[in-house]
Structure 1
């Protein structure tokens, strides 16, 4: 009985080993066939089967550079109709001129509610984008000025604007216009600050005008 049991055990182990080898051989054969079939024979330009072609070959005209037969000029990207405003943008119809600056002062006012959060956000944005030149308290003593690389901008509380008038009297529209277009050595911040963010900076600058 003991000999028979040992024989059965050995036979079972051999069968298990054979199944393992068979399974391994089958996996190797499949992998080898996939590798060979993907290499090609240099006689065709076919790339074989493609997975989810619609994921990278759009059906709709989503690419602005994609040809489009729906328009006479064959382009997908078209010039927007005059007077329209892109989604997510705020119109600012005051040109980068002294006349536009004065018109913005009279007619362009913040609609942003003065809250503790908006004021805190304005302080954070001011210290990130403005204080290197204007200084942490708006005195014109920023780090760049202290390096003696640029002349100091006028103080928000005691200085005189290069456009005339006192800095402490700058209105919503004048500050917003300057942030949007820049002035003198100050560049435009329209690409760095959204309209809402500009209004928050305006709100904080009004606080600095009081100091």
Structure 2
């Protein structure tokens, strides 16, 4: 008798569980498990950048950073894009980059990718663009700078200023090369000045 009661209780439990599973699984979206784990992972409460936002006076979510702020990791270059800024950078700016073989090699790779199409692989101003009618940039070892002086005498500050702002037909490379990469290119250009 006792064994029969155990079987009845066990049978009732199994039937109850089976009925619960069938009832909860019927009539729902087949792709849904019915359970939500961390719904804020896919139903976010944050505003999208293009949404209206009542938390700001202008109603925009995407806000311009406050004036005078500097992004994390950004290195300020406080020399204006003028002839005076160029000359001041020449006197005051020195490369903070360590003179290592790795930095030199990385500078060479960056120069080949970004600079050699105009300046040529050896810095003689004979890059591929000159074959398409563009004027030759001056040679690093033999040419004269359009701002005065020999290209072989360009200082760290002058080269960095030119990469940052551009000059004449050369545009700024500040968006393509971060400050450390610019210093590596400067290091490689100093090598080309001796060729």
| TM-score, normalised via structure 2 length | 0.76
Residues 117-148 of structure 1 show CA distances to partners (whole Å, capped at 9, x for unaligned) of 00010001001111111111110111221x24
- Determine the structure 2 residue equivalent to 1:157: 141
2:45 to 50, 59, 74: 59
**RMSD of aligned alpha carbons:** 2.8
1:72 deviation in Å?
3.5
1:79 to 56, 64, 69: 64
Number of equivalences: 172
- Determine the structure 2 residue equivalent to 1:210: 194
- Determine the structure 1 residue equivalent to 2:120: 135
2:93 to 102, 108, 111: 108
- Determine the structure 2 residue equivalent to 1:170: 154
1:128–1:73 Cα change, 3 Å = same
Rounded to whole Å, the distance in 1 between the matches of 2:94 and 2:66 is 27
Task: After the TM superposition, list the runs of 4 or more consecutive aligned residues in structure 1 that deviate by more than 4 angstroms.
Answer: 36-39, 49-52, 66-70
1:96 to 81, 100, 103: 81
| TM-score, normalised via structure 1 length | 0.70
Residues 91-136 of structure 1 show CA distances to partners (whole Å, capped at 9, x for unaligned) of 1122222122112112222111100100010001001111111111
Pair 1:187 & 2:171 matched: yes
Larger radius of gyration, structure 1 or 2? 1
1:80 deviation in Å?
2.6
Secondary structure of 1:130's aligned partner: helix
Rounded to whole Å, the distance in 1 between the matches of 2:28 and 2:155 is 72
1:152 deviation in Å?
0.6
Which consecutive residues of structure 2, in runs of 5 or more, have no partner in the other structure? 1-21
Rounded to whole Å, the distance in 2 between the matches of 1:177 and 1:133 is 18
